[in-house]
Each structure stands twice: as C-alpha cells, then as structure tokens.
Amino acid sequence: MMPPSRDEGAVRLLCVAGARPNFMKLAPLLAELSGGARFAPLLVHTGQHFDDNMSGAFFRDLALPEPDFFLGAASGSHARQTADIMQRFEPVLLETCPAAVVVVGDVNSTLACALVAAKLLTPVFHVESGLRSFDRSMPEEINRLLTDAISTLLFVTEESGVRNLEAEGIDSSRIHLVGNLMIDSLLRHLDRARSLRVPERLGVAPGKYGVVTLHRPSNVDQQDSLVEILTALTEISRELPLLFPVHPRTRRQLEQVTLPEGDLRLLEPLGYLDFLGLMADAAAVFTDSGGIQEETTVLGVPCFTLRENTERPATITHGTNRLAGIRRGSILEAWSAFRRQGAESRIPPLWDGRAAARCREVIERYFFG
C-alpha cells in the first residue's frame, strides 16, 4: 500500500494516458510537475493503445518515464473498453489515494478514469476541456461532454472552449485558458525531428509531397466513405505525391478496396519524431485527426480535414485548416480552392510552448492558494 496523497509536502497526482495524443499532451505537463518538491505525479498507462508503434515509440521520443501503473485494458466495443478501464483503474486510485486525477483529451480512458475518480470524490482535472464538434454521433464528443461535467478544474486550449463551457453552465472560476500542451511538445521537439531528415530517407524532397492520416471509424469502417476519400486522394496524388502512414485499423480496411492509379504511398506507422519531421516539411496534410489540425496550424502547413465538422475552430479562424468533408467532390473542391487562393495562418493565443507552466500555476493555486 502506498502512502497517502501528501507525502512530505508533495501533492500526489495520478496522470492518466491511454492513446498516442494523450502522451504528447502529458509529456510537458509531467516534466513541469516533476520539477520541484510540491508535486509527486504518477503516470497511469491504461493500455488503450499498446504496441511499439502506437505507444512504445512515443515514450522514447517524448522522454516519458516508464508508467507507474499499466492497466492492460482490453480492446472491444466502447462499452466493454470503458468498463474494463474503470474496473482496472479503481484499485490503483484506492491504493495511491491521490489528491487529484489528471485526464487529457477525449478517448475512452479519459472518461473511464474521470468517472471512477468522481465517484470516489477525488477531484478531476481535465486537460483539453471545452472542445465541441456538436456532433453527438462521435464517441469523442460524448466523452468530452461527460468528462467536463464532472471535472473540478478545466484546462482549455482555445477561446471557443471557454465559451462552450460557460454556455453549458460551468462556473467560470473552474475554467482556465492555458494554451495547448500538444504545441508545447511540438515546439520542444521540432528541431530534433527535422534533424532526422525523414523526407529524404523516404525518397521525397522537402515541400514536394503531402501527408495523409486516417483513423476515425466513421471514415475507415464505412467502405463508401473510405472509397470516396481514397479516390479523391489518389487523384490529388497525381500532382502531389502523398505519403500515408497507415493506422492498423485503416490497413485492415484498405485490403478490401481497389484504388485507381496514382502516387499514394502506404507506409508503416511512424513514431512521434519521425512523423513530426515528415509533417513539418509537407506541402499539405490530409487528415481526420484533431491534434494534427492543431500541429499544422503552428507549422504553417496547409491542412485538409476529412470530416464534416471540427471541435477545433481556431485551426480554421487562425490556422491553415480547411474542412474538406468526406466526399470526393468536396475534397477535390477544397484542394482546388487552396490551389487558387493559397493559405494564410496565425497562431492562436497562448499556443506558445508555455501551456504546461500555466497548468502548473493553476494547480498550485488550487492546492496552495
């Protein structure tokens, strides 16, 4: 049995990660909280993503410590996975008696661990609160709404998040606009990522290729949507070679699809640094990832979001992001409009690499006044 939540003055915090984007957000926060004697953060890896490409490489690239707890959660339906994480997390929380549980993002691990903590009257701190697509067919949207509703401190990346939370009746004293931890990681590792010369290793010249990522079930599990998207991307690849690190769930679906001729090059999944280096020198990125919308905004790389909505409107109002939809015609129209008009970008407020320091300041005020 571990000692209670305050040990020689240090406040114990359980910090939960389950999927790759969680690690990118937690790495700078863990480093910030570990610097000094006030906090004793413990890392819980739920195992929601667990293979070397999907999480192991990220630990090495981001210099994350080995997890203090690995839950080994099962895959399966949303209900099965969420329930399994809850069952495995509860004994860890009871053993460690933390002063608070820190969850990040919008995956099943986020909601599962927040629910366990709230039911055991442990404060929940939610990093990346307030993002809303207003599309409840997305599992992530349900996770966001419910996690925010039971959180004590809500750390917000962009101004739309503050407005959303206030509209939902959350007291403004609990809402803190701190910036974007994903960008802290990007700015910290960008020079090193570029030094790896990933484009050259893959046989393309910087600025002369595009990058593709696809992983959302609504895109890759529905064959009509997948065919529409891939047909458009294949047409674009005839003028701009597209490099496609393939998510495991996507690769299984691609085996069922016959593509027209083009220059769409399928790659194995890349680690954080390799992918950042590839993305940083791309001419364009085509994605359904929320985090990549944010990263391309800061990198100034044109981004085409293969969805009908985004919970990150700052990437459109400030950044290089365009909603391209999921149909061949809408994707090609977005590409044509970009070719005619180009893209301008600004960096949203507080996306400056200091979000972790602001989070720490809020947490210090909560515990120490």
Short-list 156, 180, 161, CA closest to 352: 180
In sequence order, the 6+-apart residues with CB closer than 8 A to the CB of 204 are 241, 243
Q: Which amino acid is residue 160, in one-letter code?
A: S
- DSSP 8-state assignment for residue 201: H
Check: CB of residue 194 under 8 Å from CB of residue 221: no
Phi, psi of 284 (to 5 degrees): -165, 155
To which H or E segment does residue 22 belong?
A: helix 20-34
Cβ burial of 251 (10 Å; 0-12, 13-18, 19+) is middle
Helices vs strands, H then E, count in the chain: 16, 14
Annotated catalytic residue within 49, 78, 215, 318: 215
Known catalytic residue at 215 = yes
In sequence order, the 6+-apart residues with CB closer than 8 A to the CB of 196 are 273, 274, 277
Check: CB of residue 297 under 8 Å from CB of residue 320: yes
> Phi/psi zone of residue 81: left (φ > 0), alpha (ψ -120 to 50 degrees), beta?
alpha
In sequence order, the 6+-apart residues with CB closer than 8 A to the CB of 110 are 16, 18, 22, 103, 104, 126, 143, 147
Catalytic site positions: 215
